[in-house]
Amino acid sequence: MAKGRQANQELTEVLNKLWRLDSNRLKPGTDYVISLQGKAGYVTQGTNNAKDCAHAPLFSYVNEEKLKTIKTYEHFINLLDNYEMSTGVSETVTSEEMKENKLFLNAIMETDVMKCAHDYLVKKGQSPSDPAQFKKQLYDIWFRLYHRDRSGGEDSCGFEHVFVGETKFGKEIMGLHNWIQFYLQEKRGNVDYKGYKARDNKDRPDEDDHMLNLQFSWKGLVKPIGGSFIGVSPEFEVALFTIIFLMSTEKMTSVVVKVDEYMLELVVYRHGQSIGTSFPKLLSSNNRDL
C-alpha cells in the first residue's frame, strides 16, 4: 500500500456493508472462470504493439444463462450498445434507449445494495429521501450527456465512459472498467487480454480474486493498465462510485478503502454534476502488497 495512506474507516464500513449485501455477485470458479496467465509488461498509452503475455482469453467461462435471469444484469447488458465508441461524435438518445436507462435504474433501485447506498446518502444529506428524486439524481450522475471532446457535441456520459468504454481521437482507450463489457467484447473478438499487472512476480493475483489490474487491447488500441472489479453486480459498482462522487466536491477524489480482503484505491473524476470517470486500483489482496 502507498506509504502514508490509511484506509478511510467510514467509507470502508459502508462499502463492506454494500459488499455483504451484493447477493447478485457471481461466484468465481462456479459462475465464471478466469485465466490470468502472464504478467503484462510496460507499454505507453497510444502504443499498439504491447507484448501479449496471455494467449488465451481472460474469461474461459461465464454462465450467461444466469446473467439473463438477474434483472440488473439483463438491463445493464441492454445499455452496452447504446453509445458511439469515439469521443467527438455526438450521442443520440432514442426514446427506446431512454426507456432502457430507466429500466436499469428501476431494477437496481430494487436491490438491497442500492437501498443501503440511498439510506447512507440521505443520512449524509447528499441525496433526497424520495426514491423518485434519488433516481433522477442517479440519472444525472450517470446518464446525462455532456461534452468530453470540446470539438463535438454532447458525446459522452459517466455510464458510457466507465462501463462501456470510449476512444479518444482513435488513439487512446478511455474507461472500460467493467468486467461484463470486457467479457462480451472479448467474446466478440474486440478485446485481447494481454496479462495481469502487478509490481513483481510474487504478487500474482488469484483466479478467485474479485479485483484485477490488467492490460488489454480493444479494437486495436492498447490500454496499458486498467482496474476492474470481477464478478460484482452492476448495482454494486453504481452504488460504490455514486457514494464516492457525492461525498466530495473535488474535481478528482481518491480514497483508500479495505473492501473484503482487498485494499483498494477508488478514484472518481467529476464532470460538473456528473461522473467523468471512476475506477478501482488494487493496492493489495490477502495481505499481499501489489
- Catalytic positions, please? 161, 177, 223
The residues, ordered by sequence, that sit 6+ positions from 155 with a Cβ below 8 Å of its Cβ are: 84, 87, 88, 89, 90, 91, 145, 147, 148, 149
Cα Rg of the chain, angstroms: 18
Dist. CA 153–CA 145, nearest whole Å: 9
Q: Which residues contact 81 (CB under 8 A, 6 or more apart)?
A: none
Q: Show the CA angle centred on residue 109, arms to residues 176 and 265, nearest 5°.
A: 40
Task: Give the three cell numbers for residue 168.
Answer: 479518444
CA angle 259, 263, 269 (to 5 degrees): 85
Write the Ramachandran bin of 76: left for phi over 0, alpha for psi from -120 to 50, otherwise beta: alpha
